[in-house]
Amino acid sequence: MRARGRRVGFAVMALAALAAGAARADAPAPGRYAGRLCVAVGAAPADCGPARIDVLGARRLNVRIADLVWRLRLKSSQVDVVLMHGTMQIDGFFAPFEWDGRTLNFLDLEKRTHYAVEIGR
């Protein structure tokens, strides 16, 4: 029961953090951008690193770090995330998302992980 309460508490806090002050927007124009991917698990500080971001359309992005690619497909309120290592899918989940300027934030509630894709200019 205690673990379930912590999960629910994290989900509520994380969703509130996404909604607080985030403006509704779409991805930048299609093209290749330099950017950053930041990942924070639980209450730990985010770990960020450079990423190549391919904007394929207003609702489709690929985020690449070395040979890992996060394929992001934005729906009305959720993002469909598929993590690929070469030709092998190694993870997949749906997550709530929100744009904050040129940063796409989304949460994997099951793993208590917050992702921020910062798209350069």
Q: Name the residue ranges covered by the structural domains of the chain.
A: 2-119
CB of 107 within 8 A of CB of 114? Answer: yes
Per-residue pLDDT tens listing for the chain (121 residues): 444 444 444 444 444 444 443 444 678 999 999 999 999 999 999 999 999 999 999 899 999 999 999 999 999 989 999 999 999 999 999 999 999 999 999 999 999 999 999 999 8
Segment holding 18, helix H or strand E: helix 2-19
What does the block give as tokens for 8? 């629910």
Q: Please, are residues 34 and 104 in contact by the beta-carbon 8 Å criterion?
A: no
Tell me the pTM. 0.78
Any idea which residue has 């997550």 for tokens? Answer: 95
Architecture of the structural domain at 2-119: Beta Barrel (2.40)
